Amino acid sequence: MTSHKSPLVPSAFHDMFNAQNIAVIGASENPSKLGFRIVQNLITQKKVVFPVNPHVSTTQVYPSVKDVPEKVDLAVIIVPPSVILEIIDECAIKGIRCVAIITEGFRETGPEGAELQEKLKQKLQQYDIRAIGPNTMGFHDVFTSFSICFLDVSDLQPGKVSISSQTGVLAGAFLKYINLSEHIGVNKVIDLGNMIDLDHADVLEFLLTDEKTQVIALHMEGLGDGPHFSRTLAQVTPHKPVIIVKGGVMPETRRVVESHTGSLVGDSLLFEKILKQAGALQVANFEEFVNLIKGFCFMPPPKGNKVALISGSGGTAVITIDALLKNGLHLAQFSENTLQQLKKFIPEHGKIQNPVDIWPAGVTFGLPQIYAETISILDQDPNVDVIITLLFRIRDFQYDPTPIIEAAKHCLKPIFFATMGHIVFEMRNELERNGFPTYTYGSQIARVLGSMWQYQQFCQKT
Amino acid sequence: MTSHKSPLVPSAFHDMFNAQNIAVIGASENPSKLGFRIVQNLITQKKVVFPVNPHVSTTQVYPSVKDVPEKVDLAVIIVPPSVILEIIDECAIKGIRCVAIITEGFRETGPEGAELQEKLKQKLQQYDIRAIGPNTMGFHDVFTSFSICFLDVSDLQPGKVSISSQTGVLAGAFLKYINLSEHIGVNKVIDLGNMIDLDHADVLEFLLTDEKTQVIALHMEGLGDGPHFSRTLAQVTPHKPVIIVKGGVMPETRRVVESHTGSLVGDSLLFEKILKQAGALQVANFEEFVNLIKGFCFMPPPKGNKVALISGSGGTAVITIDALLKNGLHLAQFSENTLQQLKKFIPEHGKIQNPVDIWPAGVTFGLPQIYAETISILDQDPNVDVIITLLFRIRDFQYDPTPIIEAAKHCLKPIFFATMGHIVFEMRNELERNGFPTYTYGSQIARVLGSMWQYQQFCQKT
């Protein structure tokens, strides 16, 4: 799959993400076509763009990439599959080393497409051209605003996580969702498509050395070059957490995966084992994917597995504790000093213990003040590794969360929040805008913390 | 626990929910006290209220419940635990048959409280007074707006599910959350507290015959009268689905449960087995609790386990299919007629199959039209039992979801939606306001459908 690798050649992704002169082969003058949108997006990004289309003859458009007067760093190809092979020939003549093949209609469509993909692969290897795709939405870099995707990503916020996928949704609805609803900023985004050349291992190599990337999240269908993947993964995980969601874990899903990216599903138990050994964190679905990305982007992993839980509801606390225990965490035993300090405002029958029930004191002295005070006290306790706060705010007991946010800002330990209610929607936004990972349910935090603690233990061993 | 039961006595809950004359023992003139709020709430509900407080002497307040001039159907008791026994004596003298003991400070506080609770229990049995609590927030009926809770529940929407819990949050933040954010209307709500008398089995007996309740959801910590519970549960489940979340499934959580409601945790494997045999549906946490309640409130269970999946993203579809398979569901094999009809608008390379990828046709002919057309075609297919639609809407591809909602309204089969993105938040609201259960991720629907299908199979067998 990736036979023409050399340690002396800098990562192809590095070249692609730093391309200045870009040819769009299959550019269009029709605003409803993707070839039009891509060109427009590139122009707004202040890139040097050379639109190529043999059927359009205006002064701005070149009939062939061979006619482009300057050096081309990257060709974005969106032409029918029937002409792809000759387009690659022209790219080779022009001396282009990197291509992004947006075009669909290859291995994902059946035997005929698979045959064409094989021919394309041989041609790319013969010319030593590095390629992303085919059947990809491309990539974008939120920090530099560079995007070869047809979507407008100018409203995405930059963040710590780089995401690579084998599906286009990650370039679209998913990214907008995590950015706007989950407040997770993103760094680089890559859709690998059918992985004719560049695959998950190449992504990992690139992101390991990318200083702006602190968390790596991969959506996988096929493995690509398996041994290369496991080797690279083991090199990356001691430095950056790698979160992986894999489609096609059930053998019956094979047909659907094949018609999506043409990937081989592989043995999912073996896959799980490889990931675990290499210290990567596999999640079951996009829900857990997003929750765990948020955890790592917002907080460092806890140094130990002793949790302090603050809650205003016994029943919710109990179910959160069940989930914490299931995920390898435990309730901290508070120090004598902590108990003494909590006694100052928690009434006798308020049962001073872990979980801390702030409800009686909160109703008397004000919920935000008591939440804040409790957070500050627990942060000082040497027996506590991480704090979880279950916040409740309803119409009858409204309050301004500022004291809670201020107390959390001074915390030296990782702190997580769960909030409930439409009325607390704004509070959740405010907590996350201030850098605190906030979920709806304590059980979600328990799963996230379980993985972060697993990662912490892995790092301590390596 | 519930030794004074007789089949000839109508359910105590029936009497409580139909009480007209209510005494509030421990009423207060101080607006910050719960005893004040409860009285005020009852007055706005047009109930006949008799506030009782020996320390307040105004014409509207009675020094003892014995002084109330009319018959009292229900006494709501919110006095210090130290005087609870004499208050019950006075209730007995007054001939009161039903009490709701809001007061805290019993078994949940330790041995001393447990002793007091035992004395209280004996007294209640001696007088044949039925009681809810102690340590309860009471109950409310959203249809009749009758509430003995100190919270203002006037903004709750009526719905199909009645919820009983052993925790007060269900009366507060949780209810507001599911009502406003998840669009789940609620019917009756009961907080059982420490279950000195009325317990989960009594709730089930009451809700079985309550015509307005179509779905029953229980939050449990202790079992109450175990054999009575299993017997009653088995009687209820063939008529109404019963969804159960239990706190304290891990033995280590025992201490916390004891200090919350003083319940015995019990063997969680045995509990699981009892529920399964009786056809109840146990979920692991509040997240799954809410998701499953929504499924049953919005849709009937599917008649079979063959799913038609509509999606605009291959990768998301694949992970949804993995989750469906894990939960006992399968992809339907479309009929020849369905394939012929889909061919009319899905282009050749669009791979007509299940899952249906509407993206290429949607971009050409309009996303809502293609989603709607596809829903209508799949609803006609005899091989399809249930339809799942994964909706995507982003800034670049905005649309009005009305055609989708109209098509879903004409569906004869259960239909579920997942929507992604801040921009689709309004669409999700609109779908749910129109009666369609909508989630964020397909994997959530898979878990919900797995339980609904399990229930359907149970009903077919009984």
**B7 inside domain:** no
> Are B197 and B294 contained in the same domain?
yes
Confidence of residue A60 (pLDDT cuts 50, 70, 90): confident
Confidence of residue B2 (pLDDT cuts 50, 70, 90): very low
What integer is the mean pLDDT of A314-338?
Answer: 93
Dihedral sign for Cα atoms in the order B332, B337, B338, B339: positive
> Which residues lie across from B75 on neighbouring strands?
B23, B99
**A165 inside domain:** yes
Q: Do the bridges between strand A158-165 and strand A186-191 make them parallel or antiparallel, or are there none, so unpaired?
A: parallel
More confident call, B375 vs B150: B375
| Position A50, amino acid | F
CB of A424 less than 8 A from some CB of B: yes
Structure tokens at B30: 């101080």
Give the model's pLDDT for residue A2. 41
**B179 inside domain:** yes
> Are B114 and B167 contained in the same domain?
no
Give the residue from chain B lying closest to A167, CA to CA: B315
Q: Mean pLDDT across chain B, nearest whole number?
A: 89
Q: B268 pLDDT exceeds 60?
A: yes
More confident call, A192 vs B349: A192
Confidence of residue B5 (pLDDT cuts 50, 70, 90): very low
What integer is the mean pLDDT of B293-308?
Answer: 95
Domain range for residue A342?
Answer: 306-461
**Region for residue A163 given its phi and psi (left: phi exceeds 0; alpha: psi -120 to 50; beta: otherwise):** beta
> Are A431 and A314 contained in the same domain?
yes
> Are A91 and A224 contained in the same domain?
no
Interface-testing mutation among A102, A184, A256, with chain B (most B C-beta atoms within 10 A):
A256
CATH of the domain at B18: 3.40.50.720
> Are B178 and B290 contained in the same domain?
yes
Which residue from B322, B331, B443 is facing A248, i.e. has the nearest CB? B322
Which residue from A316, A349, A422 is facing B169, i.e. has the nearest CB? A316
More confident call, B203 vs B363: B203
> Are A211 and A291 contained in the same domain?
yes
CB contact under 8 A, A325 and B250: yes
> Are A312 and A454 contained in the same domain?
yes
Q: What is the DSSP letter of B357?
A: E
**B220 inside domain:** yes
Phi/psi for A227 (5° steps) reads -60, -40
Confidence of residue B75 (pLDDT cuts 50, 70, 90): very high
Distance from CA of B246 to the nearest CA of A (A): 8
Q: Mean pLDDT across chain A, nearest whole number?
A: 89
Q: What is the DSSP letter of B108?
A: G
Q: What is the enclosing helix (H) or strand (E) of B312? A: none
Choose one of B271, B298, B325: the last residue of a domain.
Answer: B298
**B269 inside domain:** yes
Q: A94 pLDDT exceeds 50?
A: yes
**A146 inside domain:** no
What integer is the mean pLDDT of A218-223?
Answer: 91
pLDDT digits (tens, 9 = 90+) for A183-209: 999 999 999 999 999 999 999 999 999
What integer is the mean pLDDT of B222-227?
Answer: 86
Cβ contact B303:B456 at 8 Å: yes
Please report the beta strands in B53-181, taking only residues with DSSP state E, as ranges in sequence order: 74-77, 98-101, 130-132, 138-141, 146-147, 158-165
> Are A192 and A280 contained in the same domain?
yes
> Are B161 and B255 contained in the same domain?
yes
CB atoms within 10 A of CB B95: 10
CB of A301 less than 8 A from some CB of B: no
Cβ contact A374:A415 at 8 Å: no
Q: Give me the helix-helix angle, B367-380 and B336-343, nearest 10°.
A: 160
> Are A187 and A294 contained in the same domain?
yes
Please report the beta strands in B293-394, taking only residues with DSSP state E, as ranges in sequence order: 306-311, 330-331, 356-357, 386-392
CB of A441 less than 8 A from some CB of B: yes
Choose one of B236, B263, B298: the last residue of a domain.
Answer: B298
Interface-testing mutation among B34, B82, B169, with chain A (most A C-beta atoms within 10 A):
B169
Q: What is the enclosing helix (H) or strand (E) of A273? A: helix A268-277
Give the model's pLDDT for residue A53. 86
pLDDT digits (tens, 9 = 90+) for B169-182: 666 778 888 888 88
More confident call, A429 vs B190: B190
A207 burial type by CB count under 10 A (0-12 exposed, 13-18 middle, 19+ buried): buried
Q: Which of residues 25-54 of A touch B (CB under 8 A)?
A: none
How many domains is chain B partitioned into structurally?
Answer: 3
CATH of the domain at B223: 3.40.50.261
CB of A261 less than 8 A from some CB of B: yes
CB atoms within 10 A of CB B422: 15
Q: Which of residues 264-293 of A touch B (CB under 8 A)?
A: 284-287
Residues in CB range of B258: below 8 A, 6 or more apart: B107, B108
> Are A286 and A325 contained in the same domain?
no
Confidence of residue B1 (pLDDT cuts 50, 70, 90): very low
Which residue from A165, A173, A349 is facing B392, i.e. has the nearest CB? A173
pLDDT digits (tens, 9 = 90+) for B82-125: 999 999 999 999 999 999 999 999 998 889 999 999 999 999 99
CB contact under 8 A, B443 and A286: yes
Share of chain A above pLDDT 90, in %: 62
**B138 inside domain:** no
Q: B350 pLDDT exceeds 80?
A: no
pLDDT digits (tens, 9 = 90+) for B373-424: 999 999 999 999 999 999 887 766 778 889 999 999 999 999 999 987 666 6
Q: A117 pLDDT exceeds 90?
A: yes
The predicted complex's ipTM stands at: 0.90
**A141 inside domain:** no
Choose one of A298, A315, A340: the last residue of a domain.
Answer: A298
> Are A40 and A183 contained in the same domain?
no
Least confident of A44-53, A112-121, A301-310, B65-74: A44-53
Confidence of residue B262 (pLDDT cuts 50, 70, 90): confident
Distance from CA of B310 to the nearest CA of A (A): 13
Q: A113 pLDDT exceeds 60?
A: yes
